[in-house]
Amino acid sequence: MKYLKLACLLLATTALFGCVTSRSVVGVDAPQAANGNGQKVAITVLDERRFELKPEIPEIPSLKDGEITDKTITERAIARKRNGYGMALGDVLLPEGTKLSDLIAKSIAAAYGQAGYRVVQSGEKTADTQAVTVHVIEFWSWMSPGFLTAGVNNKLHLKVETGNASPAVEIVRQNREGVQVVTENDWKESTQQGLKAITETMAKNL
């Protein structure tokens, strides 16, 4: 029985280490809200994040296999895993067909819907449609080692041009959640909390 428990522990450790070093694909839910009936708005999100091959700090986006110029990969990338020493390992992507810009567009749309606006697609725009452009300067999650717990961090910075004479809305947030072991669900939660913060902050500015 003793050796069986040891074997199970080693198997679990090996599986966990394999998950950490490899690429993970994680589904993320964006905030949802009913559309309003007021002023029509069309939202465009531009993913302008800067990826680096081997950044000196973990909050700069990077990818395990160095695919930092492949937009089909970078537009889905949301996090990078690290070991207890802070060494970069595997990365975390959204499922194929889902872009970070899509999720952020839904988060901004939720804020406008709460404020009574009617969010329309580009094909539904009319002369009186307000154009909203969102520049994604930063949005990234990463693991940071700690003494008793690890930290799952999320950092975001958006610049939202609302299409009127008002100054652009700056949405800036950085958050850290302490966990015993970082799992794939933690990357999902970290990203969803960031998206929720985008909706809440934008709603306060409308």
Of 115-124, 137-146, 186-195, give the range with the top mean pLDDT: 186-195
pLDDT at 15 (0 to 100): 35
Token code pair at residue 6: 């040891």
pLDDT tens across 85-140, in order? 768 889 999 999 999 999 999 999 999 999 999 999 988 889 999 999 999 999 99
* CATH tag, 2-204: 3.40.50
pLDDT tens across 148-185, in order? 777 899 999 999 999 888 899 999 999 998 887 888 99
Give the whole-angstrom CA distance, residue 67 versus residue 149: 31
pTM above threshold 0.85: yes
Domain boundaries, the chain: 2-204
Give the whole-angstrom CA distance, residue 127 versus residue 138: 32
pLDDT tens across 38-77, in order? 999 999 999 999 999 999 899 999 999 899 999 999 999 9
Token code pair at residue 7: 């074997």
